[in-house]
Every structure is written in structure tokens, then in C-alpha cells.
Structure 1
Amino acid sequence: MRLPRQAPSLRLQLSLWLLLPLMALLAFDAWLTYERAMSAAHIAFDRTLEASLRAMREGIRLREGRLQVDVPNLALELFDDQAGPRIFYRIRDEDGATVTGYDDLPMPAEAPLRLYRTEFYDTVFREHPLRMAAQALPVHDVGSARTRLVWVLVGETIEPRQLLARDILIGSLLQELMLVTLALGIVWLGVRRGLRPLNRLSDTVARRGTQLDPIEQKDLPAEMKPLVQALNQYMDRLHGMVQARKRFFADAAHQLKTPLAIIQAQSELALRERDAERVREHMRLLHGTVRHASKGVQQLLSLSRLEPDAGYMPTLGPLRLDALAQGVALDWAPVARGSEVDLGFEQEGSVEVAGQAELLQELTGNLIDNAIRYAGRGAVVTVRVALHGGVPRLQVIDNGPGIAPAERDAVFRRFYRGESGQSVEGTGLGLSIVREIARLHGAAVELADTPGGGLTVSVNFSAAGHKPETCS
């Protein structure tokens, strides 16, 4: 059985993000401290090494052309107080011959050009790392007035230097570890105190229950305001969706209340009738009422899905608007003939838009349906697709009674029928659905008079394409 993974702690994550860089900095500082300590140890020990070289230089004599060397005890006693270094020395003449000391003790890579100048260098001798001091000096023979060049080399192992640098490093690390520990404690307390507003916000949200009112941003840190603003925007969208659902249920109740009552009455009358012909008449009326109620429910569902608060985003792609509109007109041709309406289609070239085919078919079908219903028998309805000033345009034109200019904004509201539509069967939702589908495609719907009488509904699409709207 796998245990549920525990959620990571923000306080722990912040502390780790601070601890890891601090440890990296501590390691880098330790390296720098050790290098500085070794440099300081070299400076201190090089002075002793140079003093030993000078003391050794005092014991060199030239007599009768021969070098004589007397290494004074002082030259070696200078190292007695150190932690056991090994001393190596060599005195050689200008011909390279060793006068005394270790023959294979290495010379500096570049011989000093100035006399009496001490050169310090690092080398490895007999598997021991050494710190060397070398000096070239002339030796005069008082009796013969001759002068010979002599090299004096003194070296010591570097263990005492490393020990001193290590002691300095350990002392520095202990001090820095103490400071890092104190800093982490301070950071931990600071993070804990800094997260208090977040905890208060969590408690505030938890106490709200089902309330969707905006959260107050007063007395909040600046870093938390974007979070609260995002929460408020989310709750605003959620509030819009809840209100949309409430509107849907209210509209459904409004739309179905009357048809359901009629269905009940007609079914009761049909059950009471004994004459088959009268029962058939009641069933015909009942079928028409059910069909009307079914269409109303379908339109309500479409409108509920398309309105801004629903958050619906269509999938737009390139399509031929002229071909789509022609196909919808052909589908509605039998309905138009049954209503004695002359339905035609016109196009001016190929017109392409970015859209979703199902939605645009529904938009075109609603416009044709409205035109057939309200234009009346004997009317002429034309579906036209063209480019108007480079802008794709879909028009449904009829020569019916039209819509008064004062009502043209109101007809887009739900269930609004207007004075001319009271005698026509319908739900008053068609144009509302048309407007929402047009909005999702970045298009605008315009109502205008048809020359000679009637109504022209124009849907103007964007010429440069359109990205679908999202609910805010």
C-alpha cells in the first residue's frame, strides 16, 4: 500500500533554497580562505627561509682559488621551532659543480639576473614538495683579488605552511558556520513571520464558505496582491457561471411552463375523447406543442453554452463561408416551400473565414428560420455571401414586415418577440443565439431595412482573422 505523498512545505523549500546557495558560498569562501592562508604562510615562512639563506651565505669563503664553506648552526636552528620541516640546501659554483649539499636539488627555472636578489619558487624534490630560496652572490679572494659567482639554495618541506593554513581555515570555517547557523535561524523566523499574511488569507478563504464576493486587498503585502487579484478574477468568473446557470434554469422554467401545461391539457382531452378523429386532432396539436417545447429547450441549451459566462471557446479553422451558407440554404429549402416562401442563394466569388462549421451552420439556420417565420407566406428570402470592402459578409434578406428601428436592439434579448412576432410561433431566442455565435467569431450583427421593404440581417466577419473571445 502506497502512502500518499506529503505536500512540500513552502517554509522548508524557502529554507533549502537559502541553505544550498549559502553552503556553496561557504565552500567557495573556504577555498579562498585557504588560498589566502597559504599566501600568508608563504610570506611568514619565506622570511625565515631568507634569513637562513643569509646566515648560510656568511660561511662561504674563497681562498687561493678554492671555495670553502662552513654552514653555521644558526642557518639550521632557525627551523627548530617549526613542526618538523625537512631542510635541504645546496651551494654550487658558476660552473654548476656542487660545493656542498644535495647535488640534485633543483635550480630555479629562470636564474636571477641581479646579484644578492633572493628568488622564491616551488618544486618537488625526492617526492617532497619544497619551498625554495635561491640567491646568486660573488665571493672575493682577498689574497689574489679573484672573484667567483656562487649559488646558494635553501629549501624546506611545506608541511608547516599547510598546517598553519589549515589552522587558519578551521578557525575561519567554525566562525562562518556559526554565522550561517545564526543566519538560517533568522531566515527561518523571518520566513515564518513573512508567511503569516498567507496563513491569514488561507483562513479568510476557508471561512467564506459559498460566498463569491471579492477578497479585500487592504493591508496585504505587495507580493500577495497578484494572488488575491487572480483569486478575485477567478471568483468573478465563477460567479458569472453560477449566474448563467441560474438564468438557464429560470429561462427553462419560463420556456417550459406554458408548453407543459398545454401538453397536459391536450393529453387529458385526448384521453377523454372517444371519437378517433378528434383524438387524432388533439394528438396533432399535442405533437406541435412538444415540437415547439423541444426546439425551445435546444435553443436554451445552445444559448447557455455560448454566452460569455460559460467560458466556451470554439475551435476556429479556415472554411468556405459561401459553401457553408449554400448547404444550409439547401437544407431549409423544403421548409421554405412548405411555408410558401421563395428561398434563394447568391454569392460573389469564394469567401473564406476563420470559424467553426457547426456554429456557423446554426447561425445561418437561425437567420433563415426567422426570415421564413416572420416574412410570411409569399415572401422572398435571399441568402447572400460576398466580400464587402474586403470584409466577409453573410446576409439574409427578406421582403417581409421588417423590424421597427426602435426594436432592433431589443430583439437580441431573450424571449423578446416584438409587436410583429406575437402572432408567429417562436421562442424569441434565435437572434440571441446569432449574436453569441457572431461574438465568438469576432463578427458583428447589423439589422437594416431592405430596399422596397423588409429586413436585412448582415453578419460582418473580421477581414484579418480573429481569435475567439474568452470569458473574463
Structure 2
Amino acid sequence: MKSASLRWQLSLWLLLPLLGLLALDAWLTDRRAMAAAHEAFDRTLAASLKAMREGISLRDGRVEVEVPYLALEVFDAEAGSRIYYEIRDETGATITGYPALPMPAQPVRALYRTQFYDADYRGEPVRMAAMPLPLHDVRSARTQLVWVLVAETTEPRAQLANDILMGSLLQELMLVSLALAIVWFGVRRGLRPLHRLSEAISARGPDDLQPLDAATLPVETQPLVNAVNQYVARLQRMVEGRKRFFADAAHQLKTPLAIIQAESELALRERELAGARAHLARLNSSVRQAAKEVEQLLSLSRLEPDSGYAPTLHRLRLGALAQAVALDWAPLARRDGVDLGFEGDVAEAGDAQDEIDGQPELLQELLGNLIDNAVRYAGAGAMVTVRVRGTRLQVEDNGPGIAPQDREPVFQRFYRGEASAARAGSGLGLSIVREIARLHGAAIVLGDTPGGGLTIALHFPPAGGEAA
């Protein structure tokens, strides 16, 4: 589906209201034009009534009418119009003229006052003027009221109003066309910054992820440029994350792969099964280490802020989860000669003191990394304790601990302090712990265990609470 042009959309949104205003103005102009035509032609009707009034008199009780030629010649120049007149007495009887001309709906009986109104006569619309005229007969001392009615068909009036309307519409159409041309030109010039922005982006190379310069662009384009820059920055971080992942994977797998290659070659040279089995055991250990490092790299890559990963949090009990993870790790710790224990009150139903919002799989991975580090670096004969108090999770050991100057960089990937240099490991465990804690809004604190060793404490926000 082809996208609509912004230029056309802006022009239409400006043109449609203009056309609506033009239609409204045409209606108003038509009303004004008809009112002006009535005003002009009503003067002619009034002049005709005045002329006819001079020819009406009362003699010996009889109404005599002599319609002067001047009374009707004023209408001769009006092509297409027809004139009707009637003189009737106060009883409604026609004295002369065209009978049954319509009277006003509400006759005004003010003497000598002309009343204009619209009516229908013989099936066609007419404009009428009516005047009550008192007649006085001096000889008989009598007075009689007559009505003088004059009607004109409305063709000339409609033609005049139509001429006024068409002239006004032509003028307004010219103005609207001119306004539309100005709007089109203005919209085109107004969209030039967007075209320049589009050309600047199109001219960039595939590896150019520098932010766009918005200094020369209008203020209205700033939100768009800022959004593009934010997206480009996220994209750049994602690209850098992918590059870092591949570089880390190559770095971490180089040593295990070299060991695997060497051990497999040595195993192939062995003639005795016992010697081959020794090489295969070391090869298997390297494969396990490589698999673990790949798994940690993938996990860390998925959890980094720029990956866009958002965990699905559920209401859970921290004590029950920690106890289950500690039980799973107990056989492995016992195999390495480490005493792994759990301390904490497992909450009963209805007790929400240790409830948090979390993703169980991630929290199990977090605690598993903490226990693995404690067992690995504390060494045989050490004690490792997993402790839960409310929403506080704590893993402590009585091993060599971590020097204060190493406690901040220890969360960086592949960082290994002096105490851990002699131990096997990848340096990714605490980096993963930090990312999982960040996703759950938990704060991490590294401290000393009383009597020696390391204590790692995590403070989780309570269920429904805010992040720490």
C-alpha cells in the first residue's frame, strides 16, 4: 500500500476548510444578493404605488380610478417580468385591476404605509406591495378606505441576485486558487528541511552511525531528529554489543578449543586405553568449560540493557526459591568438599514478608552463579550459607574474599582478581548477577563475612513496590 504524500495531506487539510468556507460564503452572498435585489426593485414598486395613488379619487360615493401611464412604464425595461395591480375596497371587492391578488398575511393598517411581502399568484412567485389609502369626498363629506396592490414576478430579481452571486463566486474562486497556490508553495518550502534530512541520511555509509546534526533544522523537526538519534544510538550500542559478543566468544573459546585439539591429538597417538581415557577426560572437561562459557556469554548478551529484553515478572516467595536452589546445589558443593547450608524462615501461606516480583528462571540463575562462585573460590573445607530475611538475599562464605579495590571492577566481564587467578573460571558470573539484579530492581552490596570471607547481599523491592 502506497503511503500518502505529506504535501498532499497538508494541502487537502488546508483546501477542504477553504472550500467549506467558500460554500458558506456563497450561501450568505446569495442571501445578501437577494436582499439587495429586493431593496432595489421594491423602490420601483413603491414609486408605482405612489403614482397610482394620485389617480384614485372618491366622487359622489364612487371610487374613480385613472391609472396613469407613469405608474406602469417603470417596469417596461425589466425583461421577463410581469406586472399585476388591483384596487379593492375595504370589503375585499375588486374595483379595478387583476382580481384576487394576495393580501399580506398580517395587513398593516397604518394609512399611506407601504408593506412589501412575498406571495404566489397564478402559480408563480411574486413580490408585492400593498398600501391602505383613505379617499375623501369633499362634496359628500364621505371617507372610504381602499387597498392599492401591485405585484411583480421575481425573474428580474432572481437574475440580479444570481449575477451578484456569480460575480462574487468568481472573485472568491480566484482568491481560493491563489491561496491554494501559495499554500502549495509554502508547504513545499516548509518540507525542504525534511528533504535535506532524508538526503543526509541516504548519503551515509552503512557503518556511519553518528548522530544527526539538528542545528540547522527548524525547531519543529527537533523531536523527529532526537528520536532518530536515540534510535541510532540504541542501534550502535546493539551493534557494539554484537561485536563484543563475538570478540568475547572468540577470546573465551580459543583456549578450550586449543586444549580440545591438543588432547584429541594426544589421545589419537595413545596406544593404550588408559592413556587415551586420561586425554579424553581432560578433553571432556574442556568441552564442559567451553559449553558453560558459551552459555554464560549468551545469557549475558541477552540480559544487557541494549538487548531490549524485558523479563516477565511473577509474584513469588524469595525464601522458597532460595531454599530450592540451595538444595539443588548441595550435592555439587559436597562433591567439592564445601558445606552448603540454608538459613531463613520459609514463609507460610498468608505471610507476604518475602514476596517479590521476579522471573523464577532468572533468579535461579542469579543464585546459582553466586553459589558456584562461593563454592569455587572458597575451596574445600569452606562453609557457604544462603540466607533469606524478608526480601534480602545473602550468600556468604569463609573463603579468601575479595579485596576492597576489586569489589567494583569484579562485576565487569572477564575481570578476575588476584585471589581468583589460580582458579578455573570465566569471569562472567558476577556480570550476569548484576544484570539480573538490575532487571529486578535489586541493589547489590559486597561486604566482609565476620571472621573472614565474602558476603554478597541483594535487596529486592517488595512485591508491588518500587525498585531500589
The alpha-carbon distance between structure 1 residues 88 and 337, as it changes in their structure 2 partners (threshold 3 A), is farther
Question: What is the one-letter code of the residue matched to 2:115?
Answer: E
**Counterpart residue number, 1:448:** 447
Tell me the secondary structure at the aligned position of residue 347 of structure 1: coil
**Counterpart residue number, 1:263:** 260
CA contact (8 A) 1:448 1:457 kept: yes
Q: How does 1:119-134 map to 2 (within 5 A)?
A: 119-134=115-130
**Counterpart residue number, 1:439:** 438
1:234-277 deviation per Cα after TM superposition (whole angstroms, max 9, x unaligned)? 11111111111111112112211111111111111111112212
- Structure 1 residue corresponding to 2:30, chosen from 2, 19, 34: 34
Question: What is the one-letter code of the residue matched to 1:186?
Answer: I
CA contact (8 A) 1:444 1:459 kept: yes
CA contact (8 A) 2:83 2:151 kept: yes
- Structure 2 residue corresponding to 1:354, chosen from 339, 357, 366: 357
Q: How does 1:156-305 map to 2 (within 5 A)?
A: 156-210=152-206, 211-305=208-302
Question: What is the one-letter code of the residue matched to 1:374?
Answer: Y
The alpha-carbon distance between structure 1 residues 413 and 67, as it changes in their structure 2 partners (threshold 3 A), is same
> What TM-score results when the alignment is normalised by the length of structure 1?
0.90
Distance 2:110 2:336 in 1: 121
Question: What is the one-letter code of the residue matched to 1:136?
Answer: P
Question: What is the one-letter code of the residue matched to 1:187?
Answer: V
Question: What is the one-letter code of the residue matched to 2:301?
Answer: S
Question: What is the one-letter code of the residue matched to 2:310?
Answer: M
Number of residue equivalences: 460
Distance 1:262 1:425 in 2: 14
1:398-423 deviation per Cα after TM superposition (whole angstroms, max 9, x unaligned)? 33332222211111011112122223
Distance 1:356 1:324 in 2: 11
- Structure 1 residue corresponding to 2:342, chosen from 341, 344, 353: 344
Instruction: Extract unaligned runs of 5+ from structure 1.
Output: none
The alpha-carbon distance between structure 1 residues 127 and 444, as it changes in their structure 2 partners (threshold 3 A), is farther
Deviation at 1:102, TM superposition (A): 4.2
Instruction: Extract unaligned runs of 5+ from structure 2.
Output: none
Distance 1:278 1:135 in 2: 138
Question: What is the one-letter code of the residue matched to 1:154?
Answer: V
**Counterpart residue number, 1:370:** 373
**Counterpart residue number, 1:309:** 306
Distance 1:46 1:464 in 2: 87
The alpha-carbon distance between structure 1 residues 455 and 92, as it changes in their structure 2 partners (threshold 3 A), is farther
Deviation at 1:436, TM superposition (A): 0.9
Distance 1:367 1:177 in 2: 80
**Counterpart residue number, 2:80:** 84
1:79-114 deviation per Cα after TM superposition (whole angstroms, max 9, x unaligned)? 111132122333333333333344433222222252
Distance 2:461 2:85 in 1: 94
Distance 2:364 2:153 in 1: 94
CA contact (8 A) 1:346 1:382 kept: no
**Counterpart residue number, 2:412:** 413
The alpha-carbon distance between structure 1 residues 91 and 395, as it changes in their structure 2 partners (threshold 3 A), is farther
Question: What is the one-letter code of the residue matched to 1:360?
Answer: L
Distance 2:360 2:94 in 1: 102
The alpha-carbon distance between structure 1 residues 53 and 419, as it changes in their structure 2 partners (threshold 3 A), is same
Q: How does 1:117-156 map to 2 (within 5 A)?
A: 117-156=113-152
Question: What is the one-letter code of the residue matched to 1:377?
Answer: A
Distance 2:221 2:329 in 1: 57
CA contact (8 A) 1:336 1:343 kept: no
Question: What is the one-letter code of the residue matched to 1:364?
Answer: L
> What TM-score results when the alignment is normalised by the length of structure 2?
0.91
Of the structure 1 ranges 186-195 and 201-210, higher mean CA displacement relative to structure 2 is found in: 186-195
The alpha-carbon distance between structure 1 residues 272 and 24, as it changes in their structure 2 partners (threshold 3 A), is same
Distance 1:24 1:218 in 2: 39
Distance 2:96 2:462 in 1: 101
The alpha-carbon distance between structure 1 residues 335 and 90, as it changes in their structure 2 partners (threshold 3 A), is farther
The alpha-carbon distance between structure 1 residues 467 and 66, as it changes in their structure 2 partners (threshold 3 A), is farther
Question: What is the one-letter code of the residue matched to 2:110?
Answer: R
Deviation at 1:51, TM superposition (A): 1.3
The alpha-carbon distance between structure 1 residues 41 and 452, as it changes in their structure 2 partners (threshold 3 A), is same
Deviation at 1:304, TM superposition (A): 0.9
Taking every aligned residue pair, what percent have the same amino acid on both sides? Answer: 67
Deviation at 1:6, TM superposition (A): 4.4
**Counterpart residue number, 1:107:** 103
**Counterpart residue number, 2:397:** 398
Distance 2:31 2:63 in 1: 41
